[in-house]
Structures are given as structure tokens and as C-alpha cells.
Amino acid sequence: MMEKDVIIIGGGPAGLAAAVELRKKGIEDILILEREASLGGILRQCIHDGFGLTRFGETLSGPEYARRFIDEAEALHIPYAVDTMVLHISPDKTVTAACRDGLKVWKAKAIMLAMGCRERSRGALGIPGERPAGVFTAGTAQAYINMYNRMPGKEVVILGSGDIGMIMARRMTLEGARVKAVFEIMPYASGLPRNIQQCLHDYGIPLYLSHTITEIKGGSRLQGVVVSEVDGHMRPIAGTEKEYSCDTLILSVGLIPENELSEGAGLTLDEQTKGAVVDEHFQTDIPGVFAAGNVLHVHDLVDFVSMEAEQLADCAASYIRGRALAPCTIRVAAGSGVGNLVPQRLSGTEAVTLSCRVRSPQRDGTLVVMQNGREAAVHAFKRAVPAEMLHIRIAAGALQRQGDLEVSMK
């Protein structure tokens, strides 16, 4: 069994940023394990631009954004193994992976989970109807087009207004497909406003809110979908059915942190984020196992993924050096109107940034962090949508050493 100071699982934006930052903090013995043939993660297939505005102050394509970190990692000679799939992590921080040379086992002082997320499938939605070919998740369609030079279809309907779905609406239009419409079950879009403008409106693709697909038709290849309006409880309204003929259905209906390995290690997961429960050091409930990026909670921008992983590196470096991290016994709960709160546990001694999302679109709102009946922090905003992550800064000294926190909309 080989020993490592830190093993980073996943060579996407989170894993790369953490590796670079750990090395800059003087951690030498790092290994990144990546299941794909090259580093970069999902960014490799995101050839559109818009990445990096926050992190680099300029707009980059996905591969360009990834390249910045890969170049840095290579310049710093950070070891990595590609085509290596981690099969198992044990609570004592043993990592087992498969590659063409055999089964590899490492024992790590610290593990960083950076596995990213995956897409919700048609089966998970339980869309009624037949099961023809031609139903793809947006990311799968994106991989076919951008990575494999393969066209999924010609006449397209999109379910869900997630960012990847909207980006694929534009991408498929540019490649000659006819994108008929995007249907969203919620009364508001789930993707970023800029994507609604740049990917749908600019190309004349209609977005129908409060609509969903109630039947998939076709025994061999997809022939069409039946779309219905939904009521306030997201139930289809009888009599509103309308059929759209199409050979391709793209699903952009949500991302789920990919925590199979975390579950195998016995980590506690958060019901809402579907990621590990972490403290302000991004440490999970197994000491020395850290998580950041989309495996922890799904982000709206890759810039935040990188920045979160860089923050994590600080704490992980201290841990590897054997310094005690401040114990985190204060629990943070999401109150009314708020969800996806990270981190879930705080020390109360240090400044910390909480991230969360509003449950529904809001204007001129205020988020309040309450502890022991007093306001520990307040965050006012002009507008907020569930698609965008909110960050609440809590100053050092603003918290008491004891007493759980609740974040809610005022």
C-alpha cells in the first residue's frame, strides 16, 4: 500500500484548484485521481464561453478555464493519474482505484472529495410514456456533439430550463437542429438569466413556464411528446395537453452531487444539498476527509467551485501538518425561504461565508442569520433567484461560542 499526504478524487475544476493551492501552501505529496483520459472534468465539453468572469475577470471557454489550472498544476509538477477510477474509500482513508495496471490502493492522511455532480435522468423523473431512443440528458447531448462529433437529433424539445439545457438549445440550433421549445415545470426559470437571453431569446426559442411533459411517444425512436400546463402544485391540468412532434428530447432537470464514494465511506449527507455535511473547514464527519465544489453542493458558476476548493486547501493543509482545526459544534439550519445551506457546522470563532439559495424568486429581500435570538449577520439583496447562489459573510466575533444558527428570509 502506497502512502500519500493527500489524495484528490477528481481532476475537474474543484480538484485542480485544490491541488494547486495545496502545493502553494507547501504540501508536496499530492495525487490527483481522474477517471477520464485527461484532466479538466466537465469543463472539457463546455466549449461555450462565460467562465472565469469572477475568478479571472475575463470570459473564457470551459476548456480555456480548465487549461489555466492544468497549466499551473503541471508547472508545479503535481502528480496525477488519469484513466483511474476510484472504486472505494474507507473510513480509515484508504483509497482503492482501478486502472489498466491493476487495482491500486493508497493510504492517505487527507482525502479531498472533488467528484462533481451528475444529471437527473428521465427515470428519476418518472416521465410517463414509452422508452424510445432519442431521450438524452443535456450533458450527454453536449458530450455527443462537443466531444464525439455526433449529432443526437434534428427536431428537438427541451424539458427543464437548467443552464446546460439552454446552452444545448443554442448549440443544437447552431448545428442545424430545430429546437421547438423549452418547457419548465416551475413558474420561473431554473437557469441563469443571462442564459435565457443569450441561448433562448436571441435565437427565438420559446420558453414555456409552468409546463411539463406528460407523455413520451415512440416505440423505436422518439416521435413526440405531450406537454401539459401545471397548476400551482405542479400537477398537470387536464385539457391543456398539446403534442409536439420531435425526434429528440433533451432533459435539463437538475444536477445531483455524485456521492456514491462518500456514501460508501459512511459520510453523512445533507438531505437538501445531497452533498456531505461539512464544517467551516469543508471537513466532513470523517476527520481528514474534505469536500468542495459540485460534489458538496451544486454551484451556478465554476468560478465559485474553484474558489471554494482554494478555501478548502487552507484547512486541509493545516490538517495534513497536524494542526488542530477549531472544533465546530454550532449547527447551521436553513429556515423559511432558504435552502442548500453550506457549511452546516461552525466553530463560532472565525469569520465564515455561508452559501445558500432562495427557494423562490425574490425582490428587495433580506437574509438574516439568527443566533440565540439575535441577528448575527444580515444580507440584503435587490433580487435573488433560486438559480443563483447567495453568499452571506459572517464577521469574526459576530458569533457566540454556543447556540445554533438559523438562516431565513426576512
Partner 1 sequence: MDTQYDVLIIGAGVIGSAIARELSRYDLQVAVLEKNLDVCNETSGRNSAVVHGGFAYDTGSLKAKFCVKANRMMGDLADELDFPFKRCGKVLVGNTEEDMAQLNRTIAQGQANGAAGLEIIGTEKLHELVPAVVGKFAMWSHNSGIMDPFLFTVALAENACHNGAHFFFNRNVTGIFRDAADRYHVQTAREVFSSRWVINAAGLGCKEISDMLGITGYRVIGSKGDYIILDKKLGALLPMPVYPVPSNTYMGVHVTNTLDGNVTVGPNAETVTDFSYYGVPQGNMDFLKESASRLWPHIEKKDQIRNFSGILPKWVDENGTIQDYKIEIRDDVAPHAVNLVGIESPGLTSAVPIAAYVVELMREREAFRPNTSFDPVRKGIRRFADRTPAEQDALIRENPDYGEIICRCEKVTKAEILQAIHNPLDIHTMTAVKYRTRCMMGRCQGGYCQMRVEQMLEQELGRPAADIRYCRPGSWVLAGKVRE
Positions touching partner 1 (CB under 8 A) are 35, 83, 85, 87, 96, 98-103, 105, 118-119, 121-124, 126, 128-134, 137, 139-140, 143-145, 147-154, 175, 214-217, 219-221, 247, 260
CB-based contacts of 397, cutoff 8 Å, min separation 6: none
Question: CA of 4: how far to CAs of 25, 286, 398, in Å?
Answer: 16, 17, 38
Q: Which is nearer to partner 1, 254 or 361 (CB)?
A: 254
Q: Cα–chain-centroid distance for residue 8? A: 17
- Distances from the Cα of 325 to the Cα of 25, 113, 315, 328, angstroms: 16, 18, 7, 9
Taking the complex as a whole, the smallest distance from the CB of residue 325 to partner 1 amounts, in Å, to: 31
Nearest-angstrom CA–CA distance, 190 and 116: 19
Cβ closest to partner 1, residue 261 vs residue 301: 261
Q: How far is the CB of 243 from partner 1 (least distance, A)?
A: 14
* Amino acid of residue 259: N
Least distance from partner 1 to the Cβ atom of residue 28, Å: 28
Min separation Cβ 282 and partner 1, Å: 24
Query: 219 or 232, CB closer to partner 1?
Result: 219
Q: For the CB of residue 140, give the shortest distance to partner 1 in the complex, in Å.
A: 5
Residue closer to partner 1 (CB basis): 108 or 253:
253
Is the Cβ–Cβ distance between 104 and 97 less than 8 Å? yes
Q: Given the complex with partner 1, which of 70 and 216 has the nearer CB atom?
A: 216
- Minimum distance of partner 1 from residue 220's CB (angstroms): 4
State the residue for C-alpha cell 490527483.
32
Tell me the three state secondary structure of residue 124.
helix
Nearer to partner 1, 99 or 326 (CB): 99
Query: Quick one: cell of 175?
Result: 448545428
Could you tell me the CA-to-CA distances from 176 to 7, 39, 170, 181 in Å, in that order? 44, 30, 10, 15
